Homo-oligomer: A and B are copies of this chain.
Amino acid sequence: MTATTHTATASNTAPSPTTDAELETLLAAAQSAAAPLAALQPAERAKLLDAVADGLDTAADQLVPVAQRETRLAEARLRGELKRTSFQLRLFGEVLHDGSYLGARIDHADADWPMGAPRPDLRRMLIPLGPVVVFAASNFPFAFSVAGGDTASALAAGSPVLLKAHSGHPALSKLTADVVVRALAAAGAPDGTFALITGTAAGASALRDPRVKAGSFTGSIPGGRALFDIASSRPQPIPFFGELGSNNPVFVTERAAAERGKEIAEGFISSFTMGAGQFCTKPGTLVVPAGSDLVEALREAALPSAAPLLNDRIQSGYTEVLQELAANPRITVLAQGKDPLADPPSPTLLLTTAADVLAEPHALQTECFGPTSVVVTYDDESQLPALAETFAGQLTATIQGTESCSVEDLVEVLTRKAGRVLWNQWSTGVSVTYAQQHGGPYPATTAAGSTSVGTAAIERFLRPVAYQGFPQHLLPEALREENPLGVARLVDGRLVDDRRVNGRES
């Protein structure tokens, strides 16, 4: 199948920017959808997510060719990403069936509560925030775009979604949105549960609208910070879950370099060039022992051939940052394909020293979105914690070590700097699981307390409410005494796991 096979349908044309009048209609619809969507049982919302997942799987042969054309990514990669995307929707369905995400807590009235005053009957759970605006990313046209992780977690939470399309894949965005809207409608979702909006101005207007209760974003530091500032400076500020930028440093101990130098060189090259280096978890720095065979292995390695970047803007941004880094007198070229600045660009490995990074950390840690990474040589392993300390907040940080290495201090620093710390693995390829954490201190994200990947992502679009002294019939089902939803709850401070055995639990 070639990129030109499926371009003849109306849905493949790029939508024009959302007008103010259109946006008003969509915002009103999203607000109208909020209460009925929130009122659905979690298991009913799971059916909506399953329907979207089924719709995406069914439409794969329509979606993937358009994605190929608009993103220049390979078909196999895109098909894998689409599979991940529908899997993610279904995994949130599982979370809804389980119900633990509601964080249900029940305190029965207690006349002898030792605080000094009787304890009333209090019942607390998480409820949806209301309509949210999600800004799609360019580099994962399925998994972080229209029907991606943020849409999945927001819909799972029960929050209607206004999805700001990324300009890098407009026709795919429209086509995917059509699939989502049709699937939701067929499954009985309230009108206004999901809508696509286009254009920078419409996205910013939506984020400013008082009906919108949260925003999420994956993209650049300047773009994300501008949106964070809008969200924070509203008359009524709202949470903004922005994923902005990350260098994802890797620290190789002396013994690991000696014992596994060749393997580490291969793993690193494969990781930093994966997806043409356009992953937010690309290892942008590899810290290695000076004079080790690993440095030579990297110098002599066969770098992968050039692969096209997503679009012209990313291509020009990449070559600009690469030239800036290469012009820094502290940096030399370690290895490079023959056309590093061409379109498509050959991969580049730059070289500097720990002393240089300590002297000028920010300039040498600039994120270079594309197939470039910086190798940093150190003289003594004891320098590693201080070197790690120079990094800003990160999505990931990695240690390549051996069991006998003393890396406790390094682990302490990296845990403080990053949302995910890896041992002898590579940061690219973020698994969608229960325990995943894709986030980290600023500028990796604007909300280090949350994750954008994994089942815990649902928590971003929820807030707690407590009911005091309520009659049973007015309580949400998750808080009623008989526990009709069978969810795990904290009852009088003790965890009580009443979850029923059902198809998903067996």
**Size of interface on A: residues with Cβ below 8 Å to B:** 90
Nearest Cβ in chain B — how far from A172, in angstroms?
Answer: 20
Nearest Cβ in chain B — how far from A411, in angstroms?
Answer: 6
Whether B474 contacts A415 by the Cβ 8 Å rule is no
Residues of B within 8 A of A463 (CB): 419, 439, 441, 448-449
**Are A495 and B488 CB-contacts (below 8 A) given A435-B106, A469-B425, A474-B411?**
yes
Residues of B within 8 A of A408 (CB): 474
Whether B490 contacts A435 by the Cβ 8 Å rule is yes
- Tell which of A11-19, A109-117, A146-154 binds the partner: A109-117
A88 and chain B: residue at smallest CB distance? B115
A41 in the interface (beta carbon within 8 A):
no
Residues of B within 8 A of A122 (CB): 431, 433, 435-437
Whether B236 contacts A94 by the Cβ 8 Å rule is no
Nearest Cβ in chain B — how far from A123, in angstroms?
Answer: 6
A239 in the interface (beta carbon within 8 A):
yes
Nearest Cβ in chain B — how far from A190, in angstroms?
Answer: 14
A453 and chain B: residue at smallest CB distance? B466
- Tell which of A79-87, A133-141, A310-318, A365-373 binds the partner: A79-87
Interface residues of A in 471-504 (CB under 8 A from B): 471, 473-474, 488, 490, 492-493, 495, 497, 499
Whether A471 contacts B436 by the Cβ 8 Å rule is no
Nearest Cβ in chain B — how far from A209, in angstroms?
Answer: 15
Complexed CA–CA distance, A237 and B242 (Å) = 12
Q: Digitize A120-139: 1 where CB-to-B-CB distance is under 8 Å, 0 elsewhere.
A: 10111001011000000000
**Are A474 and B127 CB-contacts (below 8 A) given A105-B435, A433-B107, A464-B456?**
no
Complexed CA–CA distance, A123 and B456 (Å) = 13
Complexed CA–CA distance, A233 and B446 (Å) = 12
Whether B418 contacts A465 by the Cβ 8 Å rule is yes
Whether B488 contacts A237 by the Cβ 8 Å rule is no
Interface residues of A in 434-457 (CB under 8 A from B): 434-437, 439, 441-443, 446-451, 454-456
Nearest Cβ in chain B — how far from A64, in angstroms?
Answer: 14
Whether A466 contacts B237 by the Cβ 8 Å rule is no
Whether A407 contacts B490 by the Cβ 8 Å rule is no
12 new A-B contacts, CB < 8 A, other than A229-B232, A236-B442, A425-B468, are A35-B412, A39-B412, A83-B116, A107-B436, A115-B432, A119-B433, A419-B466, A421-B468, A421-B470, A423-B468, A434-B493, A497-B497
Pairs across A and B, CB under 8 Å, 17 listed: A98-B493, A105-B456, A106-B435, A120-B425, A122-B431, A129-B448, A229-B232, A232-B233, A237-B442, A419-B463, A420-B468, A421-B470, A422-B468, A448-B463, A449-B463, A451-B464, A497-B497
The 6 A-B residue pairs whose C-beta atoms are closest, nearest first, are A437-B466, A105-B435, A232-B232, A124-B435, A122-B435, A107-B435
Question: What residues make up the interface of A, taking CB atoms closer than 8 Å to B?
Answer: 35, 39, 80, 83-84, 87-88, 94, 98, 100, 105-107, 113-117, 119-120, 122-124, 127, 129-130, 228-229, 232-233, 236-237, 239, 392-393, 403, 407-408, 411-412, 415-416, 418-425, 429, 431-437, 439, 441-443, 446-451, 454-456, 462-471, 473-474, 488, 490, 492-493, 495, 497, 499
